[in-house]
Amino acid sequence: MGGNNHNHNHKMHVVFVPLPVQGHINPLLQFAKTLASKGVKATFAATVSTVDSITAPNVDVEPISDGFNAGDVAEVEEAESFMSSFRTHGSRTLCQLIDKFEHSDFPVTCIMYDSFLPWALDVAKRQGVCGASFITNSAAVYSVYSRIHRGWVRMPVRKEEVPVVIAGLPPLNMSDLPSYVSWPEKYPFFLAMELNQFSNLDKADWICANSFEALESEVRTSDLPCSHFKGLIK
């Protein structure tokens, strides 16, 4: 989008829905700032525990609920219970946020969500707006998990099965693979989160991922086992 398209782009309104963890908030917030600088209206939907800590030029911040009050978040001991609550309450309040803008000058046109929150895409489709998945993992890590999802890489990977060969990547030894892959029994919930990214990805209008061109040029151009890999953010 060029600089002379600001007026046109400002008719677009993208709501960003991050996983409320710093390493996931920052990449999506940077992308929101980039789109805002191009004239797109950007709204960052943050949970009550993070909403007061997020500021960015030209990016509005709106609260959605994860089911917990700000003072209660520290008491959440299990990631699984948090994610379940976030799905329930986040879906409801994200719908309300979209409705809030429906009759404004800037109705929501797209939901860009952290890929670990596939329920946000379901909300987008129910509300009749576009859905864009933002994959925080690097393209190389995404490629590994997408092949596991397709059954092209079997878990757990045994020592006698290495190196694992994946198009666009150097041969991967045990120490090169994500620990969730090498020892899935130790991290069942987090492995499930990784693979759940693909549960409805075929319905996404756009898919974006982090990529390091100098390090991942081959994997970026290889035949990733996801035919709808539509976009790369460098």
Catalytic residues: 24, 114
* CA 145 and chain centroid, separation: 14
Six-digit token string for 182: 């090498």
- CA dist., res. 189 & res. 107, Å (int): 36
Give residue 35's Cα distance to chain centre: 16
Helix 188-196, helix 139-150: angle, nearest 10: 90
- Stated as kind and residue range, the H or E segment containing 63 is strand 59-64
Distance between CA atoms of 177 and 171, rounded to whole angstroms? 10
